[in-house]
Structure 1
Amino acid sequence: MNRRSFSQLMTAGVLGSQAIKGNTVADNTFSLKYAPHFGMFEQHAGKDYIDQVKFMHEMGFRALEDNEMMDKPVAVQEKIGATLGNLGMEMGVFVIKFPGFFDKSHMTSGDKSWSDLFLKSCKEAVETAKRVNAKWATVVPGNFTRNLPLGIQTGNVIEVLKRGAEILEPHKLTMVLEPLSDNPDLFLRYSDQTYMICKGVGSPSCKILFDMYHMQRNEGNMIKNMDLCWSEIGYFQIGDNPGRKEPGTGEVNYANIFEHLRIKKYDGILGMEHGNFKPGKAGEQALIAAYRKADQL
């Protein structure tokens, strides 16, 4: 980071309470492993992925997530993985993608052609995970199959996920199932539903991605529900509601939630899967300041 940007961020109060030695910021690490994504700090760091990762680290973030990692060239994945390793940062989720993964009834239908595509993508995900040292990958079971009973659909989903877990488990890669709120056709919607499916799969490679933006919209009562599902939660994501922006821009009391996670000694990653409330550099500074505020109850 150049000296002017550093000074601007100090003035904006986004670096936290730390000692400064030359141009190095020390002891500014957040209390939890919040994971930004590429593009979130592009106005400060530029478009280069490596420069963005380095900026995240300078700001006190110790993890990264990237839904699009599987789409990046192998050489880029390897460079990102090496940079994370050199900085002591962790890789959060990427999405296990395959054609129609989000908007088709691929797992609920029991159709073998869809299952084969998913299992092929699981094998490809293992290779991506090796390059970036990832431990978690997002899976979305797709849409309802409306002409099948709900129990049959659930059984179909469990059967496919069992086969996926068999591929991932030897490599210590965990698929995290994400209940979503985007549209009423999506099969996976609630934390208790996802808990039941994870119990049915019965593998350490199948857990819940508790995205707090979606869970606030679908069910609320988040602290109680995360406690009920705690043994099956592998990963959290953040986004205030309404708007899906940083903490403090909506109705969710993230300071209390983060404190609850500290009390429970959560040591995993919290993906920052949201946009910036304000545009430009000022918006990026405001986002970091919002995390500083919410990180200290």
Structure 2
Amino acid sequence: MKRRDFFRSGIALGGTAATFSIPTLAKADQIFADKHKFKLKYAPHFGMFKSHAGEDLLDQLKFMSEVGFTALEDNGMMKRSPEMQSKIGDTLAKLDMDMGVFVVDKGGNSQNSLSEGKQEYLDIFLDGCRRAVEVAKRTNAKWMTVVPGNFKRDLPIGIQTANVVEALRRGAEILEPHGLVMVLEPLSDTPDLFLRTSDQTYLICKAVNSSACKILFDVYHMQKNEGHIIRNIDLTWDEIAYFQVGDNPGRKEPTTGEINYKNIFKHLYEKGYRDIVGMEHGNSTAGKEGEEKLINAYAEVDNFSV
């Protein structure tokens, strides 16, 4: 890795004299002396810093820690080998980093829609939940993403909702004894998806009635589907367990679009949220320049007064 080349950069924040600078490494394996102390627990994903850290996943984790990030999320964790999962979990523990969400493999998608009420789809979902327990043990994870799949146009919405609730109750029975939480993510990717809004997800979580079934509130998707971000966070607050972010349009880092993330992050902090904020977006600029820009963007939006 050529992390020693990670340059010293500064950015004026909020029109004040405050700056965020990234010091140069004295040697490649030395952690940053002045890594940023973020107020919230932002979680990058693998590949976000490979221009600085290289292709090795564990080196990428070390780099994330060196610049101040204290968590990781990895949607594809269940597809990695058990050996790699254990290595990632061990490295996270050594770096004092938390593991964020991974996606329950085949936990519900367009080919496996829980809204249809088919036994074969339920069996696939429950098998994914059982395997997710073992992955969580290896990686010290608590949360896992579940998307119920597509809307079924020839079934009444109430029937579909009941099918989803029943499937999630069965999944919760598997996860709850282990202290694990499936977080339901309403999405904006296509109007064919069953789960689309925060209030719909809130209703389902209330119906499932389990500590193992909560909301993943992805600000990017909810900005596209419903807007009123802070109001809807407040309305569904008691069922939210996890946040993800990405600016809109473009789904890149904060400050590249229209969402006022400084206000949103301040609001979460003042409400007492101290769990993970997943960086579920791409880099707006390629290469090392883009990675440095991303870090500075999080320094900027995290620079709110409390």
The C-alpha deviation readout for 1:69-114, integer Å capped at 9, x for no partner, is: 0000000000000000011100000000128x32135211110000
Determine which of 13, 16, 20 is the counterpart of 1:16: 20
Which residue is equivalent to 1:193? 200
Contact 1:29–1:62 at 8 Å: present in 2 too? no
Which residue is equivalent to 1:126? 133
* Structure 2 residue 296 is the aligned partner of structure 1 residue 296: no
Where does structure 1 lack aligned partners over 5 or more consecutive residues?
none
Whole-angstrom CA distance in 1 between matches of 2:243 and 2:181: 13
SS in 2 for 1:44: helix
* Paired AA for residue 9 in structure 2: T
Contact 1:93–1:138 at 8 Å: present in 2 too? yes
* Paired AA for residue 270 in structure 1: V
Whole-angstrom CA distance in 2 between matches of 1:119 and 1:16: 46
Whole-angstrom CA distance in 2 between matches of 1:42 and 1:21: 17
Cα gap change, 1:60/1:206 in structure 2, threshold over 3 Å: closer, same or farther?
A: same
Percent of aligned pairs sharing the same letter: 60
Determine which of 200, 203, 213 is the counterpart of 2:220: 213
The C-alpha deviation readout for 1:45-91, integer Å capped at 9, x for no partner, is: 00000000000000100000000000000000000000000111000
CA drift of 1:26 comes to 3.9
TM-score, normalised by the number of residues in structure 1: 0.95
Which residue is equivalent to 1:166? 173
Determine which of 51, 57, 60 is the counterpart of 1:49: 57
Contact 1:98–1:117 at 8 Å: present in 2 too? yes
CA drift of 1:200 comes to 0.2
The C-alpha deviation readout for 1:188-243, integer Å capped at 9, x for no partner, is: 00000000000000000000000000000000000000011000001000000000
Cα RMSD between the aligned structures? Answer: 1.9
Contact 2:4–2:25 at 8 Å: present in 1 too? no
Whole-angstrom CA distance in 2 between matches of 1:163 and 1:18: 48
Which residue is equivalent to 2:78? 70
The C-alpha deviation readout for 1:151-199, integer Å capped at 9, x for no partner, is: 1100000000000000000111100000000001000000000000000
CA drift of 1:16 comes to 3.4
1:174-189 maps to which residues of 2 (within 5 A)? 174-189=181-196
* Paired AA for residue 95 in structure 1: V
* Paired AA for residue 11 in structure 1: S
CA drift of 1:20 comes to 9.4
CA drift of 1:11 comes to 2.7
Determine which of 81, 84, 104 is the counterpart of 2:111: 104
Where does structure 2 lack aligned partners over 5 or more consecutive residues?
13-18
* Paired AA for residue 86 in structure 2: E
Whole-angstrom CA distance in 2 between matches of 1:116 and 1:77: 24
Whole-angstrom CA distance in 2 between matches of 1:161 and 1:109: 13
Whole-angstrom CA distance in 1 between matches of 2:169 and 2:3: 52
Whole-angstrom CA distance in 2 between matches of 1:3 and 1:197: 46
